[in-house]
């Protein structure tokens, strides 16, 4: 059973927790205390060890050493269900809901009880919980009919129903619009008033400052400090996260003399579920500009990139590259036509690169089609690999190291380096800084700005609205496969973009 809540005893106390995966140390001697009635932010860059630490709390991993106390009693979790029994609930970034079932069915699923479901009782309990915590859920609504925000609320309700008093949320705002984030924070504050302990894993500083009571900063697997939010400023948090002072403003050099490079005209793409993934999309891309594309995940960003790159068949429409219609041409045709277009796909190791091959063989990927004869020539590509490694300061033992061994930032630099090196006129980048640490992200922004200065037209699919607004000259907003707006980057506000992301018609 969940432990009784005594306000003087911390909800969670983790002492000297260490965890290693192979030779990589994910957590080193971490102490963490979370109290009932507080919102505790776990702040750190990607790879700092936040998720590992919380996965040990939710019973997914076991620590190599150290101990965990829940409500003052020691806990050893062999499986997630042990953690649930002690009143801990984790809400993952990717929701674990059954689409075709209703809200109450999802809640009843897998919870304790007899063979038969007492529908009336469950519904009643759900209503009680909803009222108590201010959650807005219709028990009979099917999951596939819900927005992302509603699904998340349902996830919260699900763990509360199972008796959780300690909630861990992994990057809860990543998939939400600014409006939905506001609602989520209201719910979290309400739960805090009710005496719950809430841990939020995040790397977004503004949100941390807005909602949390205390912050624990992790860096490279170690706990750097735990501070009261009221007594700390953003610059010192950055310093704790990154290890040095950093200016977090992104430059947007003004663009000059823009000519049209790419014109997308009424492109419609049917997705796998027969619904339109893209519905009559039209826009233009000019030289010397970065065009941002904003949207809730799955609004057609992937299809848009892949259609332009020739990887996705379209139903209708035209795409003009300097006046030539390239829609319906395969990547092979596009290479043969001598169209200089670079594409950095979302899934770097699954699409842009071959993980088990070295840097040279990944450079060859874009070169070998132009080679004559049957023999594969490595020489020129090896030189190019060396040049890219030096130009972009890629940290690698050698150009013959498999790229999957490199860090996320360096993998991205190999990909970006290859695409830039082919001297493109148009560069399509899908979530180019996802998973990268702050330093690497800013290096990528600088590289994109360099290309922009050279006259390249860049499409930047992004998820962080702050970055989109600071970096991009124009922002195109997608919602459900349609363009719901086009904004001037210098004048756009987050609220405005967020409004358009949800369709703009509410």
Partner 1 sequence: MILPLRITKKDDVPRRQMAAVLVVSIGLALFFSGVVMLFFGLNPIQVFGTIVQGAFGTAMRLEQTMIKAVPLTIASLGILVAFKMKFWNIGGEGQIMMGAFAASWVALYHQGLPAGAMLPLMALASIAAGGVWALIPAIFKAKMGTNETIFTLMMNYIAIKFVMYLQYGPWKDPASQGFPKIPKFPDAALLPDVGGMHAGWVLMLALTGLVFLFMNFTKKGYEIAVVGESLDTARYAGMNIPAIIMTAMFISGGLCGLVGFVQASAIEKTLTWGLSSNYGFTAIITTWLARLNAVTTLFVCLAFAVLLQGADYIQLALHVPAAVAQVVQGIILFFVLGSDFFLRYRVKWIGLARARKEAVQ
Q: Report the distance separating Cα 192 and Cα 168, nearest Å.
A: 13
The residue count for binding partner 1 (CB under 8 A) is 42
Element (H, E) at 23: none
Q: Report the distance separating Cα 49 and Cα 53, nearest Å.
A: 6
Burial class (CB in 10 A: 0-12, 13-18, 19+), 145: exposed
The residue from 356, 383, 398, 493 that contacts partner 1 (CB under 8 A) is: 356
- 268-297 binders of partner 1 (CB under 8 A): none
Between 18 and 229, name the residue whose CB sits nearer to partner 1: 18
CB of 110 to partner 1, least distance (A): 19
The yes or no reply on residue 242 touching partner 1 (CB under 8 A) is no
The yes or no reply on residue 67 touching partner 1 (CB under 8 A) is no
| Binding segment (CB under 8 A) for partner 1, from list 89-97, 120-128, 189-197, 358-366 | 358-366
The yes or no reply on residue 354 touching partner 1 (CB under 8 A) is yes
Q: Report the distance separating Cα 110 and Cα 130, nearest Å.
A: 20
CB of 373 to partner 1, least distance (A): 8
Torsion sign (Cα): 38, 44, 48, 52: positive
- 311-330 binders of partner 1 (CB under 8 A): 311, 330
Q: Are 168 and 50 in contact (CB under 8 A)?
A: no
The residue from 117, 148, 351, 467 that contacts partner 1 (CB under 8 A) is: 351
Q: What backbone phi and psi angles, to 5 degrees, belong to 499?
A: -60, -45
Torsion sign (Cα): 353, 359, 362, 366: positive
Closest to 160 (Cα-Cα) out of 134, 121, 186: 134
The yes or no reply on residue 345 touching partner 1 (CB under 8 A) is yes
Q: Are strands 73-75 and 65-70 parallel, antiparallel or unpaired?
A: antiparallel
| Binding segment (CB under 8 A) for partner 1, from list 114-122, 152-160, 339-347, 437-445 | 339-347
DSSP label of 251: P
The yes or no reply on residue 361 touching partner 1 (CB under 8 A) is yes
Between 40 and 85, name the residue whose CB sits nearer to partner 1: 85
59-62, Cβ contacts within 8 angstroms, sequence gap of 24 or more: 59/83, 59/84, 59/88, 61/19
* Per-residue interface string for the shown chain with partner 1, residues 77-106, x marking contact by CB under 8 A: xx---x--x---------------------
CB of 185 to partner 1, least distance (A): 34
The yes or no reply on residue 61 touching partner 1 (CB under 8 A) is no
Give the footprint of partner 1 on this chain (CB under 8 A).
20-24, 62, 76-78, 82, 85, 309, 311, 330-335, 343, 345, 347, 349-357, 361, 364-366, 368-369, 371, 374-376, 405
């Amino acid at each position: 059973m969940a432990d009784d809540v005594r306000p003087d005893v911390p909800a969670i106390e983790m002492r000297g927790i260490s965890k290693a995966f192979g030779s990589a140390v994910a957590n080193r001697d971490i102490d963490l205390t979370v109290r009932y009635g507080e919102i505790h932010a776990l702040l750190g860059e990607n790879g700092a060890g936040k998720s590992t630490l919380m996965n040990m709390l939710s019973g997914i991993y076991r620590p190599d050493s150290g101990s965990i106390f829940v409500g003052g009693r020691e806990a050893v979790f062999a499986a997630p269900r042990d953690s649930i029994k002690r009143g801990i609930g984790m809400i993952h970034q990717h929701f674990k809901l059954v689409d075709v079932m209703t809200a109450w069915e999802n809640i009843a699923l897998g919870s304790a009880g007899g063979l038969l479901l007492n529908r009336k009782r469950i519904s009643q309990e759900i209503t009680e919980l909803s009222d108590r915590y201010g959650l807005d859920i219709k028990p009979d609504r099917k999951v596939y009919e819900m927005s992302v925000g509603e699904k998340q609320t349902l996830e919260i309700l699900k763990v509360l129903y199972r008796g959780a008093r300690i909630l861990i949320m992994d990057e809860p705002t990543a998939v939400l619009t600014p409006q939905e984030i506001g609602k989520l924070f209201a719910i979290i504050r309400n739960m805090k008033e009710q005496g719950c302990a809430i841990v939020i894993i995040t790397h977004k500083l503004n949100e941390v400052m807005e909602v949390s009571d205390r912050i624990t900063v992790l860096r490279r697997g170690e706990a750097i400090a735990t501070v009261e939010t009221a007594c700390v400023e953003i610059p010192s948090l950055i310093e704790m996260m990154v290890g040095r002072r950093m200016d977090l403003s992104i430059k947007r050099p003004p663009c000059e003399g823009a000519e049209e490079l790419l014109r997308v005209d009424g492109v419609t793409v049917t997705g796998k579920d027969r619904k339109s993934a893209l519905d009559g999309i039209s826009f233009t891309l000019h030289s010397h500009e970065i065009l941002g594309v904003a949207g809730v995940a799955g609004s057609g960003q992937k299809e848009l990139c892949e259609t332009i790159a020739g990887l996705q068949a379209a139903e209708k429409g035209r795409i003009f590259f300097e006046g030539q219609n390239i829609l319906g041409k395969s990547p092979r045709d596009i290479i043969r036509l001598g169209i200089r277009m670079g594409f950095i796909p979302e899934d770097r190791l699954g699409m842009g690169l071959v993980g088990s091959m070295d840097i040279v063989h990944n450079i060859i990927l874009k070169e070998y089609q132009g080679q004559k004869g049957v023999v594969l020539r490595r020489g020129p590509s090896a030189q190019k690999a060396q040049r890219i490694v030096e130009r972009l300061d890629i940290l690698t033992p050698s150009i013959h190291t498999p790229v999957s061994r490199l860090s996320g930032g360096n993998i991205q630099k190999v990909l970006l380096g290859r695409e830039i090196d082919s001297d493109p006129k148009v560069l399509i980048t899908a979530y180019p800084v996802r998973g990268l640490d702050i330093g690497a992200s800013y290096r990528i922004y600088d590289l994109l700005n360099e290309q922009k200065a050279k006259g390249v037209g860049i499409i930047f699919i992004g998820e962080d609205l702050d970055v989109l607004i600071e970096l991009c000259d124009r922002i195109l907003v997608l919602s459900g496969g349609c363009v719901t707006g086009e904004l001037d980057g210098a004048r756009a506000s987050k609220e405005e973009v967020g409004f358009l992301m949800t369709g703009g018609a509410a």
